[in-house]
Every structure is written in structure tokens, then in C-alpha cells.
Structure 1
């Protein structure tokens, strides 16, 4: 079963040292870690390592973290997720050349919280701007949160919010928080 997905937009390729720091972060948070290729990791994250109490649910949450773009891998996915119709430079100040997808492989409430906090931890290491799809009615919830860079009202493929780690963490504390799945 698939769960929520967040993307981190990057203005340039992540240097080798940054990829190593990302790998170290993920190894430290994981109970299972498999490197499928440089920059692509299949993991089990301990919810407690992100500060989340499991609350009776298995605290070991499955994720795929995938760095993509020219020279790294999954270029076709990067191209598909970055259509020419959206002028991201006008929204976030740069045109992304690379991205990281953080993909939960389960869809319990704990997975939504773990996805947003894992994405913030990844951004603490490699930088970037989070790109989060918004469900109906969520734009009003995120407007005014600290660290929000921009929102879209467009329809391709859904409205989105762009923000910093501060934004992600503030959003996760909102009543009824849930990522788009």
C-alpha cells in the first residue's frame, strides 16, 4: 500500500559529501537500510528516532528515499514531476535541477507525520525547498505558517505548498494534519 509523498526541490546536484551525510542520517534513523543505488534508499525508519510516539502502532515505518535528476538517476521521473507548465523559479526563486522524493509505503496517520519529519531532517542535511501537494481545503490551513515560501492554486496536478523545514514542522503541528496521498 502506498502512502504520502513529499518532494524536496533542489537548485543543483547534491555534492558527494552531501550524499554521504544524507546516507549517514538515514542509516542512523533506520532499523533496515538498503542502498539500491547511490542516492536511492529503501528503509525502515524508527518513528521514535523522529520524535514520534508510535501509540500502539508498529513504530518501524517503511520508506523509499530517492535522489533524482541528471547524473544521479531516475531522470525520467524528475522530468515527469517537473512539467514546463509550472514556473517554479517564479514561485521559489530557482528552477529545480534535482529533487528528492520521500515516499511512505504505508498510509496510517503515523506515516504522514513520519514523512513530513523525515523530509525536514533530510532538508536539514541537503537543503532545498519542500513541495507538498495539497488536498481540498488545505491551502487555507497552510497560509500564514512560518517558512511558507509559496502556494499554488493551479490544477496541475493539484494545488501545492512550497516551504522550508520550519514550514513542514509547523504544518505537522496543525490540527487534522494530513499529507496528500
Structure 2
């Protein structure tokens, strides 16, 4: 089953020292850790490691892929395809994305949506960047006033761009849910 996905847009390559910090964080926060390549990790995140304690009837270990992509690091074709349909991001976020990190949940419960947002925020704390979250039309006014919001679009593919603070604030909203 596929779950929600968030992207972190990056203006520049991520230094190897920062990639190593992300790797170390994921090792500490995971019940299972597999490094597919430098910058790409298949993990089973402990929800509690991100402060998620209300997990309901789901297992506290949540399956995720965290994947850095772009020129020289890997998944260049995926990066190109994901960004081909997006308009010019520079007026919205101040740069054109040259690299990105996808945070992909492999389950779709409410917990997975919250963990996706908080895991993405934790990775952003280590490498920077701007979160790119696709929205439903009814979510645009909800996120517009949140702290850390940088920009929203309301065109045919509504999206919000924001900081780690934005993701944490949004995840606390009633009925929070990401798009799959």
C-alpha cells in the first residue's frame, strides 16, 4: 500500500557530512535500516522517536523510503520527471530546485501522515531546504496562515512550500492529512 509523500527542495548539493548526519539520525530512529546507496534509505521508523505516541492500533514502526536525488547523487531521471511539470519555483521559494529529498511512506494510516510530516521536518533540520506539499483545494486556506509557510499555489495542482516549522504546525491541525 502506498502512502503520503513529501519533497524537500534544495538549491545546492547536500554536503557528504550532512548526508552522514541524516544517515545517523535514521539509524537511531529506525527498527530497520537499509542503505540502498548514499542518500537513499529504506527504513522502519519508530513513530515514538518523532514524538508520535498516539499510534492507535498500528505498529509503532512505520516503513519509509528517504531518497536524496539529483545530479551526481542518484535518481536523476526521477528528479527530472518530478520537476518537469512544476512551474518556475524561484518566484515562490527563492531558488530553482537542483536537488530534492523524497520522504515516502509505505502505509496510509493517519499515523503515517503525521510521521511523514515530522520525519520530513527532522531531515530538514539536518540539511535545510523547503518542503513541497501538494494540497487539496480545501487545504489551501488551512495552511496559508501557519507559521513557516513560504508560499502557496492555488492553480490546477495546489501546493504549499514551507519550513520544518510549517510541517510541524500543519501536522498538529485537526483532520491533518497529506495527499498520496
Same fold (TM over 0.5): yes
1:25 alignment partner in structure 2 = 25
Residue 132 of structure 1 and its aligned partner are, at CA, apart by 0.2
Q: Kindly state the Cα deviation for residue 57 of structure 1 after the two structures are TM-superposed.
A: 1.6
Residue 84 of structure 1 and its aligned partner are, at CA, apart by 6.3
- Asked if 1 retains the 8 angstrom alpha-carbon contact of 2:137 and 2:154, the reply is no
Aligned partner of residue 28 in structure 2, secondary structure: helix
Match of 2:158 in 1: 159
User: What TM-score, normalized by structure 1, do the two folds share?
Assistant: 0.97
Structure 1: where are the runs of 5+ without partners?
Answer: none
1:177 is aligned to 2:176: yes
Q: In the alignment, which residue of structure 2 is the partner of 1:88?
A: 89
Which secondary structure does the structure 1 equivalent of 2:71 belong to?
A: coil
Match runs of 1:39-118 below 5 Å: 39-53=39-53, 54-83=55-84, 86-118=87-119
CA shift digits 1:71-115 (9 cap, x unpaired): 000001111111265110000000111000000000000000000
Equivalent residues, number: 179
Query: Gaps spanning 5+ residues in structure 2: where?
Result: none
CA distance in 1, matches of 2:174, 2:137: 15
| Whole-Å separation in 2 of the counterparts to 1:119 and 1:68 | 15
Q: Deviations over 1:133-152 (max 9, x none)?
A: 00130001101111000001
Once residues 57 and 49 of structure 2 are traced to their aligned partners in structure 1, the CA distance between those partners, rounded to angstroms, is 16
Distance 1:120 1:84 in 2: 25
Structure 1 residues 114-168: Cα deviation after superposition (integer angstroms, max 9, x where no partner)? 000000000000000000000130001101111000001121xx21000001100
Give 1:55 deviation, angstroms: 2.5
SS state at 1:21 partner: helix
Q: How many Å separate the matches in 1 of 2:112 and 2:86?
A: 31
Give 4+ residue runs of structure 1 displaced > 6 Å after superposition.
none
TM-score where L is the length of structure 2: 0.97
**2-structure distance, mates of 1:64, 1:168:** 18
Moved more, 81-90 or 160-169: 81-90
Give the match's secondary structure for 1:115. helix
Distance in 2 (alpha carbons) for counterparts of 1:63 and 1:17: 22
SS in 1 for 2:137: coil
